[in-house]
Every structure is written in C-alpha cells, then in structure tokens.
Amino acid sequence: MKKLGFVIVNYNDANTTIRLLNQIKDYKNIDQIIVVDNNSTDDSVKKLKKLKSKKIKIIENKENKGYASGLNTGAKYLIQTLGECNIIFSNSDIIIKNEKDLDTLSSDIKGDISVSSPVIEEHNNLNRGWKKTTPLTESLLNLPYISRYFKKKKLYYKDNHYKEDISYVDVVSGCFFMVDSSALQEINYFDENTFLYYEELIFSKKLEEKNKKLIVDNRVHVIHDHSVTIDKNVKRINKYKILKASQRYYVKNYLKGNLLEMTLLYLTNKLSLFILYIRCLGRR
C-alpha cells in the first residue's frame, strides 16, 4: 500500500487543529502530517510548534493566499518527502472514528478511482457528495427557498445510490477526502485563484477532464464537528461575498458560462446579497 500523508490548513484555529493532531499523531498508517499555518494573526504557530515532531511538520506561510494555496503547499511538501503517495486533506474540526478506516479509503484508490471520501456526519445529516452543476443551476442555488428545494430534489443523490460499499459521485465534500498524489499532479494541483470556497467543485471538474473518478465509501464515517456559532453580521456578509466571487470564477472558467448565463448569475448574486443584508439588519 502507498505511503499516506495528511494535510491540515490552520488559520487562527490552533486549539481545534491540536485536537485533531492529538487524535492522529500515533496512527501507524499515517507516514507524515503537515500543518500549514496560513499566516494566522493569533498565537496559533506558537501553540502548534509544541507538537512538532519527526512525524508532524509545521509550515508557516508568510502570506495568506487562500485555502487552495495552503492545500497545495502541504501536498507539494508531502510529494517531495514521500514520493508517490495518497494524501488526506482534512479540516481541523474532523473526528475520525477508527484508524483502520484510513486503510479502507486507501484501498479504494486504484484504477481510475483517484479520490475516496467517507460519509461525513454533520449537524445530524449525512454529507455524501453531490452532482455536478451547470451555470443555470448555480444561479438557482443563489435564490432562497428555491435553492433548498433544488438541492434536495436535483443536486443530491437519492438514498438508494449509497446501497453498495462504494458509490461514484461527481463531487465530494472538501472537508475530508483522500486523493492519489499522481492524479493531483496531473491536474496541476488545486486552482489558487479562489481565496475560499468552491475548491471541491473546481477540483472535481479538473479530475473529470482527466477521466478520473471520485467515490464515497459508505463503510467509512467521520464527524465534521463544526460549531453552530453565529457570525457577526459584517463578517457573515464578507464571507458571503467571497463565496459568490468564487462561484462566479467557477462558472466562468470551468463551466464556460456565456454572457447570458453570467448575467443571470450576477443578478441572482445581487439579489441573494440584498436578502442577506435585510436579514442581518433584522437581527440587530
């Protein structure tokens, strides 16, 4: 079996990252763990360096160029160190149920299967990947209420899609997945032109163009333990603007949206942002 590397990108969240490191640092099937600190403004680096070891490498980025850039930094270091390997990309707020589950995910990666993902348990729901989108569906996803219905009926696979041990999907959740390093190199890594969001959609599109497959292993479950805290209104709006900028980049450059499709996307962006402003004002 190939060597296994593990990448975590940290930004002002050392305590959560340390929780994951303490869980996995003694896993015998992980050969190297890379924590990329994306120029945190708090004391994250000081805290993380306390766990530095032969197995755990802390990389300090002097500039925060975005999440995809952080992932690439970790992946390139692993490939340089381990050679051809499998790489897990994980959010810091992940809880792995069983060390042997990583072996199961590794065994999935063979032939044209380049990405293996577990079932993600989050907020009492199961995240098991979803279907690829079009410029029109991306616009529909901007519309409140309509987007909720569309996701349930058109974007997500039916439950019977997940009856076998593995299920092929178009897109896997970006919070935790494993990829073959050679496939990652073949698609020239993650696109660094987005600062945050849409990494998994762009990633899956690049893999599709190389005839690479993505699967969910229904035997493996991890917990995405992200908090349900409510952001301050201004912070929430700024994050939403970053999300929609990434969406426009994806539709224009990867879905090849035409002028009409991009105009519709722009208008639904503005409408959804206006509705968010109203909601935030109503919470004051």
Which residues have CB under 8 Å from 254's CB, separation 6+? 201, 202, 205, 206
**pLDDT, tens digit, for every residue of 247-261?**
999 999 999 999 999
CATH number at residue 27: 3.90.550.10
**Could you tell me the pTM of the whole model?**
0.93
Shared domain check, 214 and 234: no
Taking a C-beta distance cutoff of 8 angstroms, is the pair 153, 147 a contact?
Answer: no
Instruction: HSE, CB side, 13 Å, CA atoms: give it for residue 1.
Output: 17
Say if 165 falls within a structural domain.
Answer: no
Final residue of a domain: which of 224, 249, 267? Answer: 224
Taking a C-beta distance cutoff of 8 angstroms, is the pair 37, 10 a contact?
Answer: yes
**pLDDT, tens digit, for every residue of 58-98?**
999 999 999 999 999 999 999 999 999 999 999 999 999 99
Final residue of a domain: which of 203, 224, 245? Answer: 224
For residue 191, the Cα-to-chain-centroid distance in whole angstroms is: 13
**pLDDT, tens digit, for every residue of 172-183?**
999 999 999 999
Say if 274 falls within a structural domain.
Answer: yes
Shared domain check, 191 and 82: yes
Shared domain check, 183 and 284: no
Shared domain check, 137 and 125: no
Q: How confident is the model at residue 230 (pLDDT cuts 50, 70, 90)?
A: very low
Among the ranges given (24-33, 79-88, 236-245), the one the predictor scored with the smallest mean pLDDT: 236-245
What percent of the chain has pLDDT above 70? Answer: 96
On the question of pLDDT at 232 being above 50, the answer is no
Shared domain check, 108 and 69: yes
Shared domain check, 178 and 262: no
Dist. CA 128–CA 159, nearest whole Å: 10
> What is the pLDDT, as a whole number, of residue 282?
61
Shared domain check, 84 and 220: yes
Dist. CA 208–CA 16, nearest whole Å: 33
Dist. CA 35–CA 46, nearest whole Å: 13
Say if 27 falls within a structural domain.
Answer: yes
Helix H or strand E segment including 59 = strand 56-60
On the question of pLDDT at 229 being above 60, the answer is no
Q: Which residues pair with 122 in a beta bridge?
A: 125
> Structurally, how many domains does the chain consist of?
2
What's the whole-number average pLDDT of the chain? 93
Shared domain check, 245 and 149: yes
Final residue of a domain: which of 224, 249, 266? Answer: 224
Interval 44-51 mean pLDDT: 95
Collapsing DSSP to helix, strand or coil, 122 comes out as: strand
On the question of pLDDT at 218 being above 50, the answer is yes
Shared domain check, 268 and 187: no
Q: Which domain range does residue 122 map to?
A: 3-129+170-224
- In 140-212 the beta strands, taken as DSSP E runs, fall at 166-169, 176-180
Say if 164 falls within a structural domain.
Answer: no
Collapsing DSSP to helix, strand or coil, 52 comes out as: coil
Q: How confident is the model at residue 227 (pLDDT cuts 50, 70, 90)?
A: low
Shared domain check, 271 and 177: no
Q: How confident is the model at residue 284 (pLDDT cuts 50, 70, 90)?
A: low
Say if 112 falls within a structural domain.
Answer: yes
Dist. CA 28–CA 197, nearest whole Å: 32
> What is the pLDDT, as a whole number, of residue 153?
84
Shared domain check, 140 and 30: no
On the question of pLDDT at 215 being above 60, the answer is yes
On the question of pLDDT at 211 being above 60, the answer is yes
